[in-house]
Amino acid sequence: MLEGVPAADMIHLRIIDRWPQTRGVPWMHTVIQKLNDMDGYSEAEIVAARGAAAYLAMVEQGDLLGDPTIEEQDDDTYEQFLEPGVARRLKKGEKINFNNPNRPNSQLDPFMRYMLREVAAGVGVSYEALSRDYAQSNYSSSRLALLDDRDTWRVLQQWYIRTFRQRIHEAWLGQAVLAGVIPSITVQAFATDMERYLGVKYKARGWGWIDPTKEVAAFKEAVKAGFITQTAVIAQTGNGADLQDVLEERRDELDQAEQLQLSFDTDPGAAAPQLTDESTGTDSVTDDDDDETDDDDDDENRPNQQGRGLVAV
């Protein structure tokens, strides 16, 4: 028995490309025919290659009668089966021609790559991401294509969260609170402050470094200059983690290392900056003898303290 569902209760996921579009179209609609052509062409090449490999040689002229190794076929042709290591003498007038197949087609690979490039352009991704073939490009072009693809994935991630996950979360949380399956949230608290409970933060996956040595240094300089935040860097590269996750995990690592009396060059104490004198470039911390000597100096011989400062290196 079929039962109608109100349109308001349906989630119709679609990407609106133009106004007044009301229905979605398949993401592969521009390349469906081309993919079908590729499948048919690939099948034809396989059949041709198998057929060419099945024929070894052909014999011209000669009397075929009286040779027990030659069998007459239903279509009035003759076939002779050969065994390994057997040398046969041809009859007078016979000539054997070995088959020289031109399959597999040497142009199959570049043609299929061309077709895949058109498919990639039709669906809006790079050829490398679609085919997983990085042999046709160098590092710079592959990296540029990969970065463009990641921008596309981020847009789709936010679209998916906004149009599907957020709506599902709101409907689920409301039903869960009314059913009493979340003891920490009462119906009254949820009804009076819905914005607080519905304001969930989604952690979309990120991607690892392409060139860690250069990119880590670049992100570090950008954070120091204030062009980007640590939260943004972790969101891009943390594979779903955020700043809070990283800080909590780091705190756990430090606590465990302290309990086990382990030290690493990444410990905060080992990586602490050293203060130096800005004017002289020397350490600002002196020993007790230097302090006593400075105390004996006259005020006129002391350096101007207003013109000195400390800088972290």
Compute the half-sphere exposure of residue 280: CA atoms within 13 Å on the CB side of its CA. Answer: 9
Query: Are the CB atoms for 209 and 216 separated by under 8 Å?
Result: yes
Per-residue model confidence (pLDDT) at position 38: 95
Residue 60, token pair as written in the block: 């011209």
- Given a cut of 80, is residue 39 above it in pLDDT? yes
86-117 pLDDT tens trace: 666 666 777 777 777 788 888 999 999 999 99
In the structure, what pLDDT confidence band is assigned to residue 15 with cuts at 50, 70 and 90? confident
Q: Which residues pair with 276 in a beta bridge?
A: 283, 311
Q: Give the CA angle between residues 250, 255, 257 to the nearest 5°.
A: 95
Per-residue model confidence (pLDDT) at position 304: 45
Average per-residue pLDDT in the chain? 80
Q: Give the CA angle between residues 295, 299, 305 to the nearest 5°.
A: 90
The Cα-based distances of 161 to 168, 204, 273 in angstroms read 10, 9, 42
157-211 pLDDT tens trace: 999 999 999 999 999 999 999 999 999 999 999 999 998 999 888 888 888 777 8
Per-residue model confidence (pLDDT) at position 55: 76
Per-residue model confidence (pLDDT) at position 80: 65
57-77 pLDDT tens trace: 776 765 555 555 566 667 666
Per-residue model confidence (pLDDT) at position 24: 85
**Ranges assigned E (strand) in 39-192:** 57-60, 70-72, 78-80, 95-98
Query: Are the CB atoms for 223 and 233 separated by under 8 Å?
Result: yes
